[in-house]
């Protein structure tokens, strides 16, 4: 694996995160997201740390090659927080180089400093077998839950 720096973001990273979210939506769901909405959503999360945070992976040239978002969910059953890993995107020519693994390890390191973090969750497209295998290799298991949504 090439050496990558994993760091939390600043507002200066908002444009690249917005771009990566657009690429991910097109790649995974063949959707074009409204630019203003996604840009506003990225910036709002960055301005409200109680909602969550982003991480980026930088290569040796300081170019951002991967991103992910972490949001928080309170669990009264566990009296603790689940950190949800979302909006994971790694540029196609940087995949299978351990970048997501490095980002996930950083998430776990940050969580270890927070006494209320109970565990980690994510959702993945049911047909994305490569991602599922990656998550399983990192010790995550599929749950018995289905995800429902209403807007």
Domain ranges, residue 129 = 5-137
Whether 132 is in a domain gets the answer: yes
pLDDT > 90 fraction of the chain, expressed in percent and rounded? 87
CATH number of the domain bearing residue 17:
3.40.630.30
Q: What is the mean pLDDT of the chain?
A: 94
Residue showing tokens 């049911």: 126
pLDDT the model gives residue 10? 95
Mean per-residue pLDDT, 37-43: 97
Q: What is the pTM of this model?
A: 0.91
* Distances, alpha carbon 58 to alpha carbons 20, 53, 72, 88, 91, in Å: 14, 16, 24, 14, 11
Residue showing tokens 């928080």: 72
Give the total number of structural domains in the chain. Answer: 1
Whether 58 is in a domain gets the answer: yes
Tens digit of pLDDT for each residue in 130-149?
Answer: 889 999 999 999 999 888 99
Whether 80 is in a domain gets the answer: yes
pLDDT at 125 over 90: no
pLDDT at 1 over 60: no
Whether 133 is in a domain gets the answer: yes
Strand 80-90 with 117-122, pairing: parallel
Residue showing tokens 């301005």: 47
Helix axes 35-47 and 14-29, enclosed angle (nearest 10): 130
Contacts of residue 91, defined as CB under 8 A and 6 or more positions apart, other chains included, come to 20, 65, 66
pLDDT at 2 over 70: no
Tens digit of pLDDT for each residue in 104-117?
Answer: 999 999 999 999 99
Strand order in the sheet with 64-75: 5-8, 52-58, 64-75, 80-90, 117-122
Alpha carbons 11 and 46: distance in angstroms, whole number:
7
């Amino acid at each position: 694996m090439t050496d990558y720096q994993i760091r939390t973001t600043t507002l200066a990273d908002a444009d690249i995160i917005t771009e990566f979210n657009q690429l991910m939506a097109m790649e995974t769901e063949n959707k074009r997201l409204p630019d203003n909405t996604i840009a506003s959503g990225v910036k709002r999360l960055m301005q409200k740390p109680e909602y969550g945070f982003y991480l980026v992976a930088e290569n040796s040239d300081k170019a951002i090659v991967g991103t992910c978002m972490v949001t928080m969910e309170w669990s009264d059953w566990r009296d603790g927080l689940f950190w949800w890993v979302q909006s994971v995107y790694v540029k196609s020519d940087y995949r299978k180089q351990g970048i997501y693994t490095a980002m996930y390890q950083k998430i776990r390191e940050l969580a270890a400093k927070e006494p209320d973090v109970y565990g980690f969750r994510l959702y993945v497209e049911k047909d994305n077998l490569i991602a599922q295998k990656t998550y399983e290799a990192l010790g995550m298991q599929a749950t018995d839950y289905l995800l429902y949504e209403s807007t």
